[in-house]
């Protein structure tokens, strides 16, 4: 199969076949493994990693154990069984002094082949892919190279991949006079520095380095250094056993410890060199260096503040303009809504007016029809009245004055009842002097002063004589 051939016998197609069988994490682990154990046999390297279930620490320890025994076939190692029962400070320091970024010391080999003494330098701030150095192992469990923190056994480091907040609190308990380090991730600290308009001070901690304790207790715990950092910088620290800090160390290409750097938070992707200092540095020199870096960055930060202010003001102006535009749109919408409502109301009122007019016309027609019917009835009543008798004995001349001033003169026999008079009055349209219709009325006389309301009484019974006069009034 394509996973069993040795690298010497592999052609390009078989090599591609092997590599395509690995995911990105496995390819990265394979590169780290070959760098550490100095192996060019891809097939054997993959086989060892597979036997160790892709545990990089176990695979590396297995490879060195195999080299030590001269074995040709790897034996998978167990991390717990490979750890010694106890490790003293001397043993841990020996392991750390030989590595980088986990603990770079006298054994570190720099890019030009010379030892890396304590030095202050500037390196490009842009991330670059790490290029493995030609490093050597000092023991089966401690070795050189920027991936040391990934493969150190759990008993070879004091901090491991500890959470940022817990690490800062642990460091402050051990060194209470340290500056106020931001308790969060590097990216959170960078955002905080950008928000506060300050430079970001970085301390990359190597717990196993022989100079770490002296740097923390004498330099970073110095009052002048602490005051300078607290008053002018946002401070952040991380240990190289953390994944995030390891990546940052690779980003800065750290070669020696202790290591501090100052970063302009407004130039995240800039290629302007990042001021970086590696190795021990006296407190007074640290303060001077910090002031020099601050002066260098102040102009950039001020310019960034100015730009941020302009951007903020521009954003506020746009928001204000957008708000005014939205308010104008809302006013237009309300105006259109009001006009639409008025039109609808006018249409409703117009329809209501038409309806009222139609109803009034209908009512008028009905009333006119009713009046006509009433007239017909009254005429019919007049027709049924007995013929007017000639003057003579037993005949009374009756004069009836209506409310509007009209008079009715007619002769009636003495035997005629008042009901006949009432029927005669009812054949006329009774109106007031103002022209209003009279619905209810009464018949009165002045001599004698009396109200006549008995329809069965005859003129003879009333003893009115040969002539009688009555008045019709509206009944109130």
Beta strands in 286-426 (DSSP E): 395-401, 407-413
Query: Residue 138: is its pLDDT beyond 60?
Result: no
- Average pLDDT estimate for 90-97: 32
Higher pLDDT, 221 or 141: 221
Q: Which of 318, 296, 172, 329 lies closest to 235 in space, CA to CA?
A: 172
What does the alpha-carbon distance between residue 379 and residue 428 come to, in Å, rounded to a whole number?
A: 9
Q: Which CA distances in Å does 113 have to 96, 108, 129, 220, 252?
A: 20, 9, 20, 30, 19
* % of the chain with per-residue pLDDT over 90: 32
Are β-strands 395-401 and 467-474 bridged in parallel, bridged antiparallel, or unpaired?
A: parallel
236 has pLDDT over 50: yes
Comparing 304 with 467, the larger pLDDT belongs to 467
The pLDDT, as a whole number, for residue 378 is: 76
For 357-415, write each residue's pLDDT tens digit. 999 999 999 988 888 887 787 777 777 777 889 988 889 999 999 998 889 999 999 99
pLDDT at 163: 87
Residue 325's pLDDT band, with cuts at 50, 70 and 90, is: very high
Residue 6, pLDDT > 50, answer no
Cα 199 from Cα 229, distance rounded (Å): 10
Split at pLDDT 50, 70, 90, the class of 423 is confident
pLDDT for 275 equals 81
More confident residue, 38 or 234: 234
The pLDDT of residue 256 is 87
Cβ-defined contacts of 354-362 (< 8 Å, 24+): none
Tokens describing residue 397: 């001349």
Q: What is the mean pLDDT of residues 305-315?
A: 82
**To the nearest whole percent, how much of the chain has pLDDT over 70?**
75
Nearest-angstrom CA–CA distance, 12 and 263? 44
Kindly state the average pLDDT of the residues 335-360.
93
**What pLDDT does 71 receive?**
55
Over 70: is that where the pLDDT of 302 sits? yes
pLDDT, one tens digit per residue, over 170-217 is 999 999 999 999 999 998 998 898 888 888 999 999 888 899 999 999
If pLDDT is split at 50, 70 and 90, which confidence band does 308 have? confident
Mean pLDDT calculated for residue range 271-292 = 85
Q: Each residue of 14-71: pLDDT tens digit?
A: 666 777 778 888 888 888 787 777 677 888 888 899 999 888 888 888 887 776 666 5
Residue with tokens 């905080």: 192
Q: Is the pLDDT of residue 94 over 90?
A: no
Q: What mean pLDDT is reported for the chain?
A: 76
pLDDT of residue 475: 85
Q: Which strands make up the sheet holding 233-239, listed edge to edge? A: 119-123, 274-278, 259-263, 199-205, 233-239
- Distance of alpha carbon 397 from the chain centroid: 104
Question: Which has more confidence, 67 or 430?
Answer: 430
- Is 60 exceeded by the pLDDT of residue 332? yes
- How far is Cα 270 from Cα 353, in angstroms, rounded to an integer? 78
Q: What is the mean pLDDT of residues 349-358?
A: 93
- pLDDT at residue 122 above 80? no
**pLDDT of residue 74 exceeding 60:** no
pLDDT the model gives residue 8: 41
| pLDDT tens digits, one per residue of 140-168 | 333 334 444 444 433 334 444 578 899 99
Q: Which pair of tokens denotes residue 128?
A: 């670059």
């Amino acid at each position: 199969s394509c996973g069993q051939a040795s690298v010497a016998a592999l052609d390009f197609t078989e090599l591609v076949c092997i590599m395509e069988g690995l995911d990105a994490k496995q390819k990265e682990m394979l590169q780290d493994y070959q760098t550490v154990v100095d192996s060019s046999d891809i097939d054997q390297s993959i086989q060892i990693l597979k036997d160790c279930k892709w545990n990089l620490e176990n695979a590396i320890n297995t490879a060195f154990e195999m080299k030590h025994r001269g074995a040709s076939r790897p034996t998978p190692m167990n991390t717990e069984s490979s750890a010694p029962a106890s490790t003293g400070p001397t043993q841990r320091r020996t392991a750390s002094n030989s590595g980088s970024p986990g603990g770079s010391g006298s054994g570190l080999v720099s890019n030009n082949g010379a030892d890396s003494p304590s030095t202050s330098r500037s390196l490009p701030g842009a991330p670059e892919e790490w290029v493995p150095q030609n490093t050597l192992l000092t023991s089966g469990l401690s070795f050189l190279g920027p991936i040391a923190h990934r493969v150190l056994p759990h008993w070879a480091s004091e901090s491991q991949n500890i959470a940022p907040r817990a690490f800062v609190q642990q460091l402050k308990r051990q060194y209470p006079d340290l500056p106020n380090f931001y308790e969060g991730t590097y990216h959170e600290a960078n955002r905080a520095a950008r928000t506060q308009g300050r430079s970001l001070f970085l301390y990359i901690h190597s717990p196993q380095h022989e100079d770490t304790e002296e740097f923390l207790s004498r330099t970073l715990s110095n009052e002048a250094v602490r005051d300078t950092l607290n008053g002018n910088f946002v401070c952040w620290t991380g240990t190289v056993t953390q994944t995030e800090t390891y990546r940052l160390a690779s980003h800065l290409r750290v070669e020696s410890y202790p290591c501090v750097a100052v970063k302009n938070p407004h130039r995240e992707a800039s290629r302007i060199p990042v001021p970086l200092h590696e190795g021990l540095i006296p407190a007074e020199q640290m303060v001077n260096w910090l002031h020099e870096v601050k002066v260098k960055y102040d102009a950039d930060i001020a310019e960034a503040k100015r730009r941020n202010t302009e951007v903020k003001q521009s954003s506020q102006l746009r928001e204000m303009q957008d708000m005014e535009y939205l308010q104008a749109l809302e006013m237009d919408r309300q105006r259109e809504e009001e006009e639409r409502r008025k039109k609808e109301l006018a249409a409703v009122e117009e329809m209501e007016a038409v309806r009222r007019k139609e109803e009034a016309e209908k009512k008028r027609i009905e009333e006119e029809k009713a009046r006509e019917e009433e007239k017909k009835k009254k005429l019919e009543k007049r027709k049924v009245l007995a013929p007017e008798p000639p003057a003579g004995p037993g005949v009374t001349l009756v004069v009836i004055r209506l409310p509007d001033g009209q008079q009715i003169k007619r002769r009636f026999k003495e035997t005629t009842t008042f009901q006949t008079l009432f029927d005669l009055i009812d054949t006329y349209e009774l109106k007031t002097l103002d022209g209003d219709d009279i619905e209810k009325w009464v018949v009165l006389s002045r001599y004698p002063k009396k109200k006549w309301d008995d329809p069965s009484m005859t003129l003879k019974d009333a003893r009115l004589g040969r002539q009688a006069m009555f008045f019709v009034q509206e009944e109130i």
